[in-house]
Amino acid sequence: MGLTDIAKMLADGTKDTLIMVLLSTLFGYIGGLPLGVLLSVTDENGLKPMPALYMVLDIIINITRSIPFLILLILIQPFTKAIVGKSYGTVATVVPLTVAAIPFIARMVESSVKEVDKGVVEAALSLGAKKFTVITKVLLAEARTSLLVGVTIAVGTILGYSAMAGIVGGGGLGDIAIRYGYYRYETEIMIVTVVVLVLLMQLLQWVGTLISKKLDRRRG
């Protein structure tokens, strides 16, 4: 394989990885953000305590989070197949990544929202704001720095998972690293692939931190 072929393969892998990670993060937040808000709101110190609902959600999330990602990936293969039509490849991997991401994101959102000072919430209530307004205009608005830090962590974690998915033909950079490094002993390609993964992670962290700082009004 020539250098240009390798470069092309890595470029495609990077593209696949990015698509996989970004889609999973997006779907992860579509599910995880409302779930996390629901958790923080129904908690005993939340805006509308609902102990039974909180307990059920809490248990479901704990169970899903304790399943190792690789096991989850295999466990839900039938589900993945039902949705995407096949259980391997870049698009298919988005399904288990999303399933793994939702409870994890929900937990981070929950903790970000809980960081918002209770006094500020009471101030909004005392001004006559409805609970829904408090959620959207106070809780989410005031938690935004922490929520963004969460997005950075989520993308990073999903990137890590996506590389793991390479073991079962998940596509992307992880797939390349495993195919060349593990099965064919082409260590150089594996190293280069890993370097690209590391660079992606660094870039991500850097952009995430930058945006969070920009949006933080609490400090000078």
Residues that bind another protein (CB under 8 A): 117, 119-120, 122-130, 133, 137-138, 141-142, 144, 217-220
CB of 111 to another protein, least distance (A): 18
CB of 216 to another protein, least distance (A): 8
In the complex, least distance from residue 122 CB atom to another protein, rounded to whole angstroms = 6
CA torsion sign for 34, 39, 44, 46 is negative
**Cβ distance 110 to 44 under 8 Å?**
no
> At its nearest, how many Å lie between another protein and the CB of residue 120?
5
Q: What's the closest the beta carbon of residue 40 comes to another protein, in angstroms?
A: 17
